[in-house]
Structure 1
Amino acid sequence: MSSIGAALLNSLRSVERPGDFCVGGTREIFMPTIDVDGVGRIAFPVQPIQAEQLVASAEAAPYGRGEATVVDRKVRRTWQVDSAKIRIGGRHWDKTLAGLVEDVALGLGVGEPVAADFYKLLVYDAGSFFVDHRDTEKVPGMFATMVLVLPSIHSGGELVVKHLGREVVFDVHPEEPSEVGFAAFYADCVHEVRPVQTGRRLTLVYNLRFVGRGRPLKAPDYRAEHGRVVELLRGWTSAEDEPDKLILPLEHVYTPAELSFSALKGADAGVASVLVKAATEADCDLHLALVSIEESGSAEHTGYYSRRRWSRDEEDDEQFEVAEVIDRALFLSEWRRPDGSEAGFDDFPFDEDELCPFGAFEDLTPDELHFHEATGNEGASFERTYRRAGFVLWPTARRLAVLNQAGLRTTLPYLEDLTARWEASKAPIRSPLWREGDELSRHMLRSWPRSSWREDEDAEVGRMLDLQIRLRNMECIDAFLAGVSAEGHYAAPDNEAILRAAALLPAPRATELLVRILRRNAPAHLAACGDLVQRCVAGAAGRTCDLMQIGAALIEALPGPPTKRQEVDPWTWSVPVKPTFVVDLLTATSRVDEGLAARAIEHLLAWPKTYKPDDVLVPAARAFAKLAESTAWPAVGRLREASLDHLRKRIALPLEAPRDWTRANPLTCKCSDCRELGAFLTAPDQQQWRLKAVQGRRSHVEENVRSTTCDLDLTTERRGSPHTLVATKNQASYERRAKQRRQDLEHAPALDR
């Protein structure tokens, strides 16, 4: 665990009392029955006519001034109905009130028995308010006040509670008949009720007191702890060898729906009250998040074999135990800000050394644990998940480094927003917004994936380069092209952005980078590199870059004989050449220099097994036949001549249907069945061959036939046992040649123009 993490934990351990100075929210409950003398039973939500009746039977609410109780409408403009005139009941009310008081006490950090004494009903009509004040101890043992806001249609009337420089606003307006707002706070806290704007606000006020305790508690005072934490956090930004973020798991369990600063319980609420204010003063960002560890691996069955039977644990028919953890994922999710809003972050990875304390998840029971029986060649396996909520903290100065840990799904949209805001501000380069974009870009560049494997729809490189172009960030453009594109993380969709970015660099540097990109990526992405060169020649980069160097780099990277093709990296192999590549190559080089194009075409013609005439060269020549400009290019003329020569030679070959049943024998296997089948193939008077044999022998023959170009149709007769493999001769080879002849006769005239 980091030194700052250890010191932070030590400082927070002295927060002996959990809870906070106030707690509140809304809750759906079984509503009580409330009967008021002279008014009758109150309906919910409270109707205007009943509210008027309540005001008529109420009196102006006083407040305490020293030892005296006075009425001053400039200080407190509120109506009160004494508890003696009110009867609160209902079948579920006692249980509902007890549960609410228990939760409120927990939020205030009180673990002892607490009683709630009804004090009075208050009515705030339009314009009513109560300025800053403190409550007095009205009964022995009273330590706090609880306010229940009844369902009514109104606006304004927010309750504001203040303590030691902190301020919490409870803006609750329950309107549903089964919903109440609630707030509780220590009696020594200053609080006010802001003016009601419209409607009427009705509240039930309760005095909270200890049962059997003399001296009441006061609101927690964490000023000493707060000071120590602020000092620690301020030193974090400049501290070396400290993690970018820290994670403090909470004591209590929270579901994602419950996870919020306002819903924290016990000691968690106490720690939050220190961290929220300290983080703000020390320029740190504080969040709540769900901390998860997911593990999977191999499992072992714990049953045992006896001579009588297979035995398992009596309590569980499928007893397993974890054997070995193979995969492990650590991530943060369900982010919440102190103000209750969602942070908008995706899942974040984290390292175990960021946990405070280190090993906080050790010896915990998994929240989920699933075992899977062995199947086929796979042994038994398990999956388990640990989850705990936690505080996540980092210096604001390191925010972008932390944000970068979330990956490109988070950082690219964030950088796009930064860039748009910088453009809209019309601020110069090196302005604060630009610097923030530059800093995030550098973090992203350092962690950018370097694998040459790419998904087809991957557009992240293009998005990143486009943002750097908009930011006019030449250093990041250079670093990205050199460190990412020229190191194998490259695909055809990147080309347009690469060329736009390169066009902003000095011509010699742009040329150097494009040459490096071609040399590194051509073995695995030949077609993409051809497209890159063709776009370069036709675009803005071609007007400044050294096209001779760029074209020569592609020619030098061209594959030669197939036997010399090598694995590019563990995940990528070179792919067969496509006609479109030849078109791009000869178009680009012909537009640059005839000699360069001549080198290219001679290389293509030198290796017919790599640049196959029928699959590559002839289709490319046919494509050029539709491009009028290409008729003036000598290299294309050379391609056309070679393609025509290939077609004419094949057209000149004799083509005749078989006169008997003699067929070529391409089988190389020397087993007795394959030798017998080979003899059958060359026999002029045999049309059908039968092999009655077990499946293994039949399958072996079938595999050999299908792996060659035998002129045979295979079927299986399933009468009797074993079954019979039937091989019947056909004219497949002749039909293929006849089809090829028709194509050649069609293609040759198109090229001979």
Structure 2
Amino acid sequence: MQQIKQEVLDILLQLKGSGKFASIHSDDFVFPGLVVEGIGETAFPINPLQANALIQAGHKAPFGKGKATIYDDNVRSAWEIDASKLSFNNPQWTKFIDKAIGKIKTDLGLEDYTVAAHLYKLLVYQKGDFFLPHKDTEKEKGMFGTMIVGLPSQYTGGELVIQFEGVTEVADFTQNPNPYSINYAAFYADCDHEVKPLTSGYRVCLVYNLVQEKAAKKISLQSLQSHVATLSKILTKHQSKQDAQPSIVLLGHQYTPENFSYESLKLNDRVRAEALLQAAKEAGYYAKLCLVTSYLSGTPAYDGYDDDDDENAEMEEVYDESLTIEHWADDEHPALSNVSFAEADLITSFPIDEGEPIVKESTGYMGNYGPDLMHWYHFGAVMIWSHQLNAKLLPSQYTGTQLNWIEHFNRTSSISEEEKVVVDHILTAALTNPKTSYYQKDPTNYNAVADWLINGNKTTFLLNLLPERLHLFFEKIDTESWIKLFKFLSRENGTILFEKLTKALTLSVLEKLLDVLQVMMEDKTLKPLATVQIQKLPKYFKLVYDEYDHRVNAPAFTNLFWTAKHASSTAEWTNEILETLIQKPNRTYIHGTIAPQLLSVKEPSELTHKLLLFCQEYLQQRANNEPQPPASWSRPMPDNFGSHKYQWQILKDFLESPTEQNFDFRKNQTERKELEYAIKSSVVDLKTETIKKGSPHTLRITKTQAAYHRQMNDWNEDVALLEKLKDSKQ
């Protein structure tokens, strides 16, 4: 294992820079003071008259083939002016070029080299001009690349397309809406590049040779593919082992989770990450960019009391630490939520807990306790693992992660037999850990389960699931996906599935069933199957209402009312449903669920009409019994004393008195608090206040008419709702 780690590190250490083969930028306009021999100083933006003058001063642009110089309008059509006829009056132009070189060096990974830009030519493209794909030849000693500087002018087309090892970058200078900006692009001479045909206007640009000035290792564009091929073989050697663990390779730099992405990778990290990702893909493995987080907490390395929170103090003693992957970059593969590893498992050339952490916190002093320090190291990394290892990891992942992977498998044919077996196991016995990490998104898309069953033609598997597992999927999978599933099943198998779903019916399954049946009724192919189940709804409602104290929710009533109107329900069906719905009438349920649904009905049915009459009768009975205020000040004792029997004995005579309204309890604070807590813990018509005169203070207890006011409030609501129901058009 140690040898494999070293082999990986040896390859990565050879990769330097950002990994880019092209650098494309746009900067604020600097007046070049460009002087063309025979024409004079050029104004900007360059207009058609000036462009034509430049063409007249130049000559047709050739191209090199070996040592030969060839003119062929079928390969290249453009005009050029040699550097010897060009000069610049503005000294700021040299500073602009130097600044551009600085950005280019960073992009191309050449910070350690001395690079200069030598003016080569001025090019003019007019409508129809182009340059077919080609490589630049070395025009002077030390030349390793080319820089193109676009001068402000109006044109369309003429995109500069640069390619290397199957990757394409496009420099389209027309995309910048500011006509006075200066766009430029640079690339290695080994890159194939072309200029697409100009469709209008004039494209005018300066061409510079990029030259290595000081003696050093020759600048050349590294062939990433050769390193990728070697890494792929090394990774295969590692992952093919029976007891293989994920290959977790640290890149070198730290990143905050909020700003971590492939685009944010620094310096050498990008090219190394790209090499690892490509090598894994070539080997047929999963690979994902992630943050390896090392967390340390402990005590600071100083003594004494300090009022300031010193998060910058050194940590003297570590008493808690962890090593995790909690953040993953977005790409084609889902993240994992639970990966166990130790520091010894990492492929890294440096200790993970040395140096400055990217995040530091201090709790500060807390009473008699000293501060705690917390350090977070967030290192960019690439994790690589095989399909076989993925099959071992999936059962221990959180539910959202497992569902994300099932969704991924539905979109790809790249799945191993081991992974297929594991997914079936997850559907049979897992999906029981809904926890997610701090950074992980949790879409919990159970619809992926339906697609998995359909794509795998898993009718038998579905019908063999245990009832509680069927209930879970029936509740979690969207109605639209269940419609797809029932269309996938034969009518006979659909009937069997309904029998299993309704064998041990739950309230939530009944609510979902009403929604599914309504949509099925609107589909000609599923309507016969749905009709059979709708006829059984009275039985289903009775089973659930006899078993559960809770009742179906408002959306379920909406679906039931639609079914009663559109599913040709009989009088017997209606009466059976109604009888179940009105058993054990509940005021809160009528106010909060049934009545609002009845008031929103747009297509009345016999069921809604009869249910409306029942609600009116129920509310009328309550309206006929207007609450009356208490005849005296006596109040009942609470039904349940709990642990406060002694306190209520103190209040017994006061509560029973028909005339006493106040009771003063002058005791020490502990006794007052216990009595006050007893009152607040019960539903009783008493309120309390503390009178802070004398010592000890007095707890004054006053009788109220709160119960009567609550009854009157309920009565007023009943009367108002009754009027609304009477005014409804049903």
Q: Does 2:347 correspond to 1:357?
A: yes
For residues 84-123 of structure 1, the C-alpha deviation after alignment (integer angstroms, 9 at most, x for no partner) is 3322364544443234324434544543222222222222
CA pair 31-350 structure 1, distance change in 2 beyond 3 A? farther
Matched-pair contact (CA < 8 Å) for 1:82–1:119: yes
Partner Cα separation in structure 1 for residue 148 and residue 514 of structure 2:
75
Alignment of 1:367-382 (within 5 A): 367-373=358-364
2:207 corresponds in structure 1 to: 205
Match of 1:728 among 681, 702, 711: 702
Deviates more, 1:505-514 or 1:689-698: 505-514
Unmatched runs of 5 consecutive residues or more in structure 2: 437-441, 522-527, 599-603, 722-730
Partner SS for 2:33: strand
1:424 corresponds in structure 2 to: none
Tell me the CA shift for residue 61 of structure 1: 3.3
Partner Cα separation in structure 2 for residue 631 and residue 135 of structure 1:
85
2:130 corresponds in structure 1 to: 129
Partner Cα separation in structure 2 for residue 260 and residue 361 of structure 1:
23
What code does the residue aligned with 2:462 have?
D
Deviates more, 1:20-29 or 1:498-507: 498-507
Alignment of 1:441-456 (within 5 A): 445=427, 449-450=431-432
Unmatched runs of 5 consecutive residues or more in structure 1: 336-342, 420-429, 560-574, 606-610, 633-638, 748-753
Partner Cα separation in structure 2 for residue 618 and residue 191 of structure 1:
73
1:751 corresponds in structure 2 to: none
What code does the residue aligned with 2:57 have?
S
1:51 corresponds in structure 2 to: 51
TM-score by length of 2: 0.65
For residues 40-62 of structure 1, the C-alpha deviation after alignment (integer angstroms, 9 at most, x for no partner) is 33334322222222222223334
Partner Cα separation in structure 2 for residue 696 and residue 705 of structure 1:
15
CA pair 413-142 structure 1, distance change in 2 beyond 3 A? closer
Partner SS for 2:329: strand
Q: Does 2:167 correspond to 1:176?
A: no
1:565 corresponds in structure 2 to: none
Tell me the CA shift for residue 182 of structure 1: 1.2
Match of 1:330 among 309, 323, 326: 326
Alignment of 1:384-399 (within 5 A): 386-387=377-378
2:500 corresponds in structure 1 to: 513
What code does the residue aligned with 2:8 have?
L
CA pair 547-386 structure 1, distance change in 2 beyond 3 A? farther
CA pair 240-597 structure 1, distance change in 2 beyond 3 A? farther
1:567 corresponds in structure 2 to: none
CA pair 549-213 structure 1, distance change in 2 beyond 3 A? same
Partner Cα separation in structure 1 for residue 12 and residue 140 of structure 2:
33
Partner Cα separation in structure 2 for residue 196 and residue 135 of structure 1:
21
CA pair 727-150 structure 1, distance change in 2 beyond 3 A? same
Tell me the CA shift for residue 155 of structure 1: 2.9
Match of 1:689 among 653, 656, 663: 663
2:681 corresponds in structure 1 to: 707
What code does the residue aligned with 2:320 have?
E
Q: Does 2:459 correspond to 1:475?
A: yes
Partner Cα separation in structure 2 for residue 490 and residue 382 of structure 1:
48
Matched-pair contact (CA < 8 Å) for 2:294–2:352: no
Q: Does 2:357 correspond to 1:366?
A: yes
Partner Cα separation in structure 2 for residue 662 and residue 162 of structure 1:
93
Partner Cα separation in structure 2 for residue 613 and residue 127 of structure 1:
82
Partner Cα separation in structure 2 for residue 463 and residue 154 of structure 1:
50
Match of 2:651 among 677, 683, 706: 677
Matched-pair contact (CA < 8 Å) for 1:461–1:494: no
For residues 326-364 of structure 1, the C-alpha deviation after alignment (integer angstroms, 9 at most, x for no partner) is 8966121365xxxxxxx7x99775736699727988236
What code does the residue aligned with 1:209 have?
V
Partner SS for 2:97: helix
Matched-pair contact (CA < 8 Å) for 1:17–1:220: no
Matched-pair contact (CA < 8 Å) for 1:459–1:493: no
Partner SS for 2:38: coil
What code does the residue aligned with 2:40 have?
G
Partner Cα separation in structure 2 for residue 40 and residue 440 of structure 1:
76
Tell me the CA shift for residue 201 of structure 1: 1.9
Matched-pair contact (CA < 8 Å) for 1:18–1:109: yes
Partner Cα separation in structure 2 for residue 56 and residue 106 of structure 1:
38
For residues 426-475 of structure 1, the C-alpha deviation after alignment (integer angstroms, 9 at most, x for no partner) is xxxx9999x9xx99996995897436999xxx996785677679879653
For residues 400-439 of structure 1, the C-alpha deviation after alignment (integer angstroms, 9 at most, x for no partner) is 99999898699789969989xxxxxxxxxx9999x9xx99
For residues 481-526 of structure 1, the C-alpha deviation after alignment (integer angstroms, 9 at most, x for no partner) is 74875576776997897799679563674255325653xxx5xxxx
CA pair 28-400 structure 1, distance change in 2 beyond 3 A? farther
1:304 corresponds in structure 2 to: 303
Partner SS for 1:54: helix
Matched-pair contact (CA < 8 Å) for 1:170–1:183: no
What code does the residue aligned with 1:142 have?
M
What code does the residue aligned with 2:701 have?
A
Matched-pair contact (CA < 8 Å) for 1:514–1:550: no
Partner Cα separation in structure 2 for residue 77 and residue 579 of structure 1:
76
Match of 2:691 among 711, 717, 738: 717
Alignment of 1:63-82 (within 5 A): 63-64=63-64, 67=67, 69=69, 71-82=71-82
Matched-pair contact (CA < 8 Å) for 1:715–1:725: yes
Matched-pair contact (CA < 8 Å) for 2:9–2:349: no
CA pair 383-50 structure 1, distance change in 2 beyond 3 A? farther
2:96 corresponds in structure 1 to: 96
CA pair 696-377 structure 1, distance change in 2 beyond 3 A? farther
Indicate the percent of aligned positions where both proteins have the same amino acid. 23
CA pair 56-312 structure 1, distance change in 2 beyond 3 A? same
For residues 193-252 of structure 1, the C-alpha deviation after alignment (integer angstroms, 9 at most, x for no partner) is 343332222222222222243995544345643444566789999997767x87655456
What code does the residue aligned with 2:119 have?
F
What code does the residue aligned with 1:513 have?
K
Tell me the CA shift for residue 30 of structure 1: 5.5
Matched-pair contact (CA < 8 Å) for 1:510–1:545: no
Partner SS for 2:215: coil
Alignment of 1:465-614 (within 5 A): 475=459, 478=462, 482=466, 485-486=469-470, 504=489, 506=493, 509-510=496-497, 513-515=500-502, 518=505, 522=506, 527-528=507-508, 531=511, 555=543, 577-578=550-551
Q: For the aligned residues, what is the CA RMSD?
A: 6.7
Partner Cα separation in structure 2 for residue 630 and residue 198 of structure 1:
70
CA pair 592-224 structure 1, distance change in 2 beyond 3 A? same
CA pair 721-466 structure 1, distance change in 2 beyond 3 A? farther
Tell me the CA shift for residue 591 of structure 1: 6.9
CA pair 384-686 structure 1, distance change in 2 beyond 3 A? same
CA pair 488-134 structure 1, distance change in 2 beyond 3 A? closer
Alignment of 1:150-229 (within 5 A): 150-161=151-162, 169-173=170-174, 176-186=179-189, 191-213=193-215, 217-221=219-223, 224-229=226-231
CA pair 465-517 structure 1, distance change in 2 beyond 3 A? farther
Matched-pair contact (CA < 8 Å) for 1:141–1:213: no
State the number of aligned residues.
667
CA pair 699-97 structure 1, distance change in 2 beyond 3 A? same
Partner SS for 1:725: strand
What code does the residue aligned with 2:501 have?
L
Tell me the CA shift for residue 690 of structure 1: 0.8
